[in-house]
Amino acid sequence: QAVLLPRRDWSGHRVLVSAGPTQEPIDPVRYLSNRSSGKMGYALAEAAQARGASVVLVTGPTALPHPAGVEVVSVETAEEMSKALTMRLSWSTVVIMSAAVADFRPKHRAVNKLKKRDLTNPVLDLEPTGDILADLSARRTGQLLVGFAAETGDLLRHARQKLNAKGVDLIVANDVTTPGAGFGSDHNAATLIDRDGAISELGLRSKRRLADDILDAALRLARTAVR
């Protein structure tokens, strides 16, 4: 009798996946964040685990259950996410950066709750967070790096710029205005651009199916020499 077994083509790989938003505190009850359900990153972690990889998922706050068989590290801020990923970089063979990291954080975090009555003309003083992906790229020792690009305008141009600026092997570009795709949805569409400039367009499909397609592309790149 024939038994259908899942592909175990990722066995031997150790995959570090980031997912979800980060939250940058303003005071004990308020924060600055990005739109992100975490579904794409969780789907990637699940798919890599199902295909035989050891997976660590570093996740910002989401409403999703922890994927079975995956080690989950929960973080809140961009700084915490950066530390959690950096300390596991040397363990990993592949890093997939699907988190929606906040680009700015409040310069000062109020210890006590800010009272609206005291704020006649409220202004948030912000500072940039570090670019985690660019930082991992600078520190890497042979790991394959996969980044994401969330865009609204000229998708290919912006995504190519990010691929080069951050020095990654593969970028997953999302047009966040695509109907039925993206934030909160179980479906997504993406354009993959690799380090050699090869482009592949993946139309609307389930995030799990898209995760497997991204893993196919990453595995092909991992098999050819990593720069």
Q: Give the list of residues 6+ apart from residue 111 with CB closer than 8 angstroms, or none.
A: 27, 28
Question: What is the Cα–Cα distance from 41 to 66, expressed in whole angstroms?
Answer: 11
Q: Which does 78 bind (CB under 5 to 8 A by kind): ligand CTP, Ca ion, none?
A: ligand CTP
Q: Tell me which of 76, 103, 131, 175 binds Ca ion, using CB under 5 A.
A: 103
Buried b / exposed e over 173-182, threshold 16 CB at 10 Å, is bbbeebeebb
The entry of Ca ion, ligand CTP, none that residue 20 binds, CB within 5 to 8 Å by partner kind = none
Here the tokens at position 81 are 């996410």
- Binding part of the chain for Ca ion, among 16-24, 62-70, 100-108, 180-188 by CB under 5 A, reads 100-108
Q: Which residues bind ligand CTP (CB under 6 A)?
A: 78, 97, 99, 101, 103, 129, 131-133, 147-150, 162
Least Å from the CB of residue 137 to ligand CTP: 9
Has 112 been annotated as catalytic?
no
Q: To the nearest whole angstrom, how small is the minimum distance from the Cβ of residue 161 to Ca ion? A: 13
Distances in Å between the Cα of 38 and the Cα atoms of 61, 114, 140, 169 are 8, 29, 25, 22
Flag whether 107 is marked binding. no
The answer to whether the annotation marks 103 as part of a ligand binding site is yes
Check if the beta carbon of residue 61 is closer than 8 Å to that of residue 146.
Answer: no
Choose the binding region for Ca ion from 61-69, 96-104, 117-125, 159-167 (rule: CB under 5 A).
96-104
Q: In this structure, are residues 20 and 35 in contact, taking their beta carbons and an 8 Å threshold?
A: no
Query: Active-site residues: which are they?
Result: 34
